[in-house]
Chain A
Amino acid sequence: MKGFNIPATDKSPKVVFDTNNFLFEMQGISRPENVRDFYFPLIYKIKKHFEKILEKNQGDTFNEKCFKFNFKLDYFNSSSAKFISDILVIIKELNDKGLNLKIYWFFADGDEDMKEVGEDFSDMISVPFNFVMIES
């Protein structure tokens, strides 16, 4: 399945799902006008992609490299937080099924709230995150 590339707007993040390079990345601000319309389709596509990999027993093809999930968000509202947590739960479930997926949580130097929310998410799904501080 091909991935997708959603460009950023002033209210929604850039989202890249690059299945060839084993990369999912969200970047920017998330407070879309219709949060359901924004997140439901992309969550569906991510789920479908990995379901197919599991069905075909293709996990080994990327388990050596690992599939990276980069969250490089400057800001997200509480409704977006719910959907981000849904994506993280999917990652956890896929990890539990033997797929090698890693979460990288980026935060700006001094933005302790963004780091803290990453720690909350990590606690919530019981999966360690790789925290990356971006120098400002």
Chain B
Amino acid sequence: MKSYDVVINHKGFMNLAIIDNILHQLRMYLFKKSNEKLLRKRVYSLSVECLDNILKHSDLNEKDHELIKNYPPRFIIERIAGDFIIHTGNIVLNENKDELIPRLDQLNNLELEDINSLYKESLANAEISKKGGAGLGLIVMAKTTRQKIKFDFEKIDNKFFYFAMQLNLKQ
């Protein structure tokens, strides 16, 4: 029977202190339970990108906080045998969903070599947004996992969607 661990299971409000706490828990787990340095680093790196995205790209104002109860930000890491699966979820605006879908579809249809070229091109042309994002996170995820990014958008109302994403990191 394959070994199974829930490494991190966070559903709820997200801020910098909570992210630091999640990353601390993750480091402790990886230090104790994972011998492979490169895999440890990849899990950590993907987690930072995912958590940054949840924090920077959650399109929610304070007045919308009621929605969080039903659609909380989510960050879960499972480990099955030696592989890691990262699940994320956050609320996004309808128009941001329309931007994300073609970007994710594009990445899922590229070979690793093309993803690497896109990364270099994007690094050269990236501009840092006011929220501190460089728009490179999804490319880094595709480059690091070397697997297709699974995603889904669940309609909440006419304004918002719940964006769920799954990353698979093979041993």
- Given that A77-B49, A77-B52, A112-B38 are known contacts, is A82 also in contact with B128, CB under 8 Å in the complex? yes
Report the minimal beta-carbon distance from A26 to chain B, rounded to whole angstroms: 17
Residue A95 lies at the interface, judged by CB distance under 8 Å to chain B: no
- Chain A residues with CB under 8 Å of B140's CB are 78, 81
- Given that A31-B48, A85-B124, A120-B120 are known contacts, is A79 also in contact with B136, CB under 8 Å in the complex? yes
> Interface range on chain B: under 10, 10 to 19, 20 to 34, or 35 or more?
20 to 34
18 contacts across the A-B interface (CB closer than 8 A): A31-B48, A34-B132, A35-B132, A36-B132, A75-B45, A77-B49, A78-B140, A79-B133, A79-B134, A81-B140, A82-B123, A82-B136, A85-B123, A89-B124, A110-B37, A111-B38, A120-B116, A123-B120
Residue B108 lies at the interface, judged by CB distance under 8 Å to chain A: no
Query: Counting chain A CB atoms within 10 Å of each CB, which of B116, B136, B137 scores highest?
Result: B136
Residue A113 lies at the interface, judged by CB distance under 8 Å to chain B: yes
Residue B41 lies at the interface, judged by CB distance under 8 Å to chain A: yes
Within 8 A of A (CB), among B126-151: 126, 128, 132-134, 136-137, 139-140, 144
Asked if B37 and A111 make an inter-chain contact with CB atoms under 8 angstroms apart, the answer reads yes
Residue B119 lies at the interface, judged by CB distance under 8 Å to chain A: yes
A interface, by DSSP: helix, strand, loop or mixed? helix
Report the minimal beta-carbon distance from A30 to chain B, rounded to whole angstroms: 10
Report the minimal beta-carbon distance from B17 to chain A, rounded to whole angstroms: 11
Residue B1 lies at the interface, judged by CB distance under 8 Å to chain A: no
CB < 8 Å: which of B16, B38, B132 contacts A79?
A: B132
Residue A8 lies at the interface, judged by CB distance under 8 Å to chain B: no
Q: Which residue of B lies closest to A38 (CB)?
A: B132
